[in-house]
Every structure is written in structure tokens, then in C-alpha cells.
């Protein structure tokens, strides 16, 4: 199968551009970059065709080129190209996602990339060591990514010892974030705890008893929303 080039991909994205919707997206996301006005399903459909038969190496190369365009939909597509549970070899994919994380801006594109990153972390949990450094990063979005990428450990049942260790490690990071006044950090902590409450409510109650008074009121409420009904 012929490899999809960056020119091919950009032509396909631009063919579905909606200028009016693009301006709405620019106003909504409030980040100065290119917008084409495509929906996520439109991007999904294109990515499926680009992934079909492509090697991991080719997908990583295309993802790197798409991200570098600084066009919203191209960056979302880049992340989706690498969002796969099984990917071998995946070292280059993880390295690319980790580089992206160092420069995240805003939640939308970052969360797509975090979804890809989460799968690479589950595939190789030792990569949590790299995230440890993100927890004190100057970029708030990078700090937030350490929680968003590790959400799979909040959602596990029947944990193995290594999973329990990873979960406790992230809960330690969350405790370190409790005094961070940024809304998005508080929201990420609450999100992690809320998802964990579906699987281990007692652990969330214990965490909140120790650290909850340091969270903002909205985050405390969100973290306990499911447990308190």
C-alpha cells in the first residue's frame, strides 16, 4: 500500500474544511493555531484510511509531520494515528507522544494525545518514571498530562501488585497537586478520584480524608459525586 504523505493528509483534511465552523472552533478553544472546522468523526474516518496497512514506523512519521503543522485537526489526527492498544515496536511512538506532552497547550488536543499515551504506558508501565518528572513541570498542561495519561489505573478491577503500586504512585502525585490552585489541575485530580470511586470507593474516601480539605470546593464535590450520589 502506498504510504500516506503529509501533503496527502493535509489535502484530505482541507477538502472537508468548513471555514465558518473553523472560526467557531478558534473562538471556543482560544488557542492561536490553524483550524479547519472538521468534526472528530470526520478526522476519525480519515485516520482509519491512513492507518490501514501502514507500518508503525510510517504512522509515527506521519503523526510527527501532522503535529508539526500546528493545525488543530492535523494534531488530533496525529494523536489518533498512535491511539492503539497493541503497537510493536512502540518506543518511537512513546518518545513522540512524550515530546508532545512537554509542549501541550489547551485540553482538547492534549487529551487526544494523552489517550494515545495512556495505551503506551499500559504497554510499558516503567514509563511512569518519565511522568514523575512531569509532575513538577513548568507547563501546567504537562503536569496535568501525568494524571490524564494514567487514568487506566483508576479504572482497573482485580489489580495485580504492580497495578496497585502504580495506582498508589499516581495518588501520591494527586496529593502533591492538591495545593495547586489551577482549575484544570484541580479538575484533573477530581476526575481521577471520581473514576477511581467506581472501582475502589474506600480508597477515595481515605484519600479525601487525608487530602480533600486542600482541594477547591468544586473539586471535592466532583471527586465524591458518585459516592455521595
141-157 pLDDT, tens digit each: 999 999 999 999 999 99
Q: Which domain holds residue 45?
A: 1-137
10 shares its domain with 118: yes
82 shares its domain with 21: yes
Supply the pLDDT for residue 1: 55
Could you say which of 89, 112, 137 is where a domain stops? 137
What's the whole-number average pLDDT of the chain?
Answer: 97
114 shares its domain with 175: no
Question: What is the tally of structural domains in the chain?
Answer: 2
In a domain, 145, yes or no: no
Supply the pLDDT for residue 229: 80
Nearest Cα residue to 82 out of 37, 108, 121, 126: 121
168 shares its domain with 104: no
125 shares its domain with 204: no
Domain with residue 65: its CATH number is: 1.25.10.90
59 shares its domain with 116: yes
pTM (2 d.p.): 0.95
Average pLDDT (35-59) is: 96
79 shares its domain with 179: no
Amino acid at each position: 500500500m502506498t504510504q500516506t504523505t503529509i501533503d496527502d493528509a493535509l489535502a484530505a483534511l482541507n477538502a472537508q474544511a468548513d471555514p465558518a465552523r473553523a472560526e467557531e472552533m478558534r473562538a471556543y478553544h482560544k488557542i492561536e493555531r490553524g483550524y479547519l472546522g472538521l468534526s472528530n468523526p470526520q478526522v476519525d474516518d480519515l485516520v482509519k484510511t491512513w492507518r490501514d496497512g501502514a507500518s508503525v514506523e510510517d504512522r509515527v512519521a506521519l503523526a510527527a509531520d501532522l503535529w508539526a503543522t500546528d493545525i488543530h485537526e492535523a494534531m488530533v489526527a496525529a494523536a489518533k494515528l498512535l491511539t492503539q492498544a497493541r503497537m510493536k515496536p512502540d518506543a518511537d511512538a512513546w518518545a513522540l507522544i512524550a515530546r508532545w506532552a512537554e509542549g501541550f497547550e489547551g485540553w482538547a488536543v492534549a487529551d487526544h494525545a494523552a489517550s494515545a499515551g495512556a495505551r503506551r504506558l499500559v504497554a510499558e508501565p516503567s514509563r511512569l518514571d518519565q511522568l514523575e518528572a512531569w509532575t513538577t513541570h513548568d507547563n501546567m498542561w504537562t503536569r496535568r498530562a501525568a494524571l490524564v495519561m494514567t487514568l487506566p489505573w483508576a479504572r482497573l478491577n482485580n489489580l495485580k501488585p504492580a497495578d496497585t503500586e502504580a495506582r498508589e504512585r499516581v495518588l501520591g502525585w494527586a496529593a502533591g497537586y492538591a495545593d495547586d490552585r489551577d482549575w484544570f489541575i484541580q479538575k484533573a485530580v477530581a476526575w481521577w478520584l471520581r473514576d477511581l470511586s467506581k472501582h475502589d470507593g474506600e480508597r477515595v474516601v481515605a484519600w479525601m480524608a487525608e487530602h480533600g480539605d486542600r482541594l477547591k470546593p468544586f473539586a471535592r464535590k466532583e471527586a465524591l459525586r458518585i459516592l455521595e450520589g
